[in-house]
């Protein structure tokens, strides 16, 4: 049996997008798979049966490298491909299988709007990295596994509701407050807002702005597992290009995603597996400034934020309502 170390330090969506690699390595090769990631994200793979050990790190130091060397890995799969992961692969002195990040092609799209990117998910690029090991794409989607004992939630979930992830790591990926309010005013039924501590104030403001208590904010009150529980129970998930979008895809939920400065062409769109699509994408096409970054900014570089301000709130809300009504 091969022992293989997989490296992806962050973040939520990126780690979830590596889970098909973990499954294929374990099922197809019978490999013992270890996963190296940052501690805040260990929960995403902690209960995955295709991972035999999770190395959750706060920092990368000599002691950790020594411990990794003692594991006697047969191969290292570097799906982060940065200086930190290069330090690990160099220290282990084992054959490394690395992701092709296509950074030059992304740079061309961001800076010159020359689109030379393949129309495939990054999942398929991750799998291409391990193809020399004899791994083949199994055509299945992303994985997220719950712990055997589920934590309590801070409220009883409504029978039918929309989960609306309002946060993102970068401001230019997030819908403005006014646009979110427009969408919420047009949605029907219960809506649960999810996000981190930095969205707590905004979530509460949105909830209080809507009458009747049908919109409730859970922002800043949930762990990753609890967020997954809320998403699992939802009829549909509304989210920007962020980790919760990928978590919804891992749980095979219908996803309505709203894209700002980034574009699906980067390969980070919701992935459900081969020939499966439960995703509706909203993006303002034709803007000469978009994409302005492959990651995001704290504010719109042009000042107008048209990629989000021009999003069709009425159509997004109607799409959400239709998805809820058609879900049974």
Q: CATH fold of 3-133, please? A: Rossmann fold (3.40.50)
Q: How large a percentage of the chain has pLDDT more than 70?
A: 99
Condensed to tens digits (0 to 9), the pLDDT of residues 150-173 reads 999 999 999 999 999 999 999 999
Please give the average per-residue pLDDT across 313-327, as a whole number.
95
Assess whether the region 3-133 and the region 161-323 belong to the same CATH fold: yes
Condensed to tens digits (0 to 9), the pLDDT of residues 210-246 reads 989 999 999 999 999 999 999 999 999 999 999 999 9
Domain ranges of the chain: 3-133, 161-323
Q: Is the pTM of this model over 0.95?
A: yes
Condensed to tens digits (0 to 9), the pLDDT of residues 301-311 reads 999 999 999 99
Residue 13 has a pLDDT of: 97
Exposed, middle or buried, 136 (CB in 10 Å: 0-12/13-18/19+)?
A: exposed
Exposed, middle or buried, 72 (CB in 10 Å: 0-12/13-18/19+)?
A: exposed
Assess contact for 282 and 258: CB atoms under 8 A. Answer: yes
Please give the average per-residue pLDDT across 115-138, as a whole number.
96
Please give the average per-residue pLDDT across 60-77, as a whole number.
96
Q: CATH fold of 161-323, please? A: Rossmann fold (3.40.50)
Cα gap 136→24, rounded to integer Å: 7
- CB half-sphere exposure, 95, CA atoms < 13 A: 10
Residue 328 has a pLDDT of: 60
Residue 1 CB neighbours (<10 A): 8
Please give the average per-residue pLDDT across 179-190, as a whole number.
97
Please give the average per-residue pLDDT across 98-120, as a whole number.
96
Residue 198 has a pLDDT of: 96
């Amino acid at each position: 049996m091969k022992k293989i170390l997989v490296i992806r330090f962050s973040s939520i969506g990126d780690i979830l997008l590596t889970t098909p690699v973990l499954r294929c390595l374990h099922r197809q090769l019978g490999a013992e798979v270890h996963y190296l990631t940052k501690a805040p994200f260990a929960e995403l793979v902690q209960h995955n049966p295709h991972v035999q050990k999770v190395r959750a790190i706060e920092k990368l130091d000599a002691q950790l490298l020594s411990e990794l060397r003692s594991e006697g890995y047969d191969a290292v799969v570097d799906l982060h491909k940065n200086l930190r992961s290069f330090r690990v692969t160099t220290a282990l002195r084992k054959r490394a299988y690395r992701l092709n990040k296509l950074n030059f092609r992304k740079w061309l799209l961001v800076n010159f709007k020359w689109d030379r990117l393949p129309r495939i998910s990054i999942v398929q690029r991750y799998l291409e990295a391990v193809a020399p090991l004899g791994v083949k794409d199994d055509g299945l989607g992303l994985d997220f596994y719950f712990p055997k004992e589920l934590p309590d939630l801070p409220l009883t979930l409504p029978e039918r509701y929309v989960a609306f992830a309002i946060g993102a790591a970068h401001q230019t990926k997030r819908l403005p407050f006014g646009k979110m309010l427009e969408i919420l005013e047009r949605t029907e039924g219960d809506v649960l807002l999810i996000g981190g501590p930095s969205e707590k104030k905004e979530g509460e403001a949105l909830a209080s702005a809507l009458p009747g208590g049908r919109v409730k904010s859970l922002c800043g009150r949930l762990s990753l597992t609890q967020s997954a529980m809320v998403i699992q129970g939802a009829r549909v998930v509304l989210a920007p290009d962020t980790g919760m979008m990928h978590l919804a895809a891992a749980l095979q939920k219908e996803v309505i995603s709203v894209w700002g400065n980034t574009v699906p062409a980067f390969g980070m769109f919701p992935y459900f597996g081969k020939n499966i699509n439960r995703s509706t994408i909203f993006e303002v096409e034709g803007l000469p400034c978009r994409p302005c970054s492959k990651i995001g900014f704290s504010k719109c570089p042009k000042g107008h934020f048209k990629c989000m301000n021009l999003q069709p709130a009425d159509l997004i809300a109607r799409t959400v309502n239709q998805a809820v009504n058609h879900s049974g």
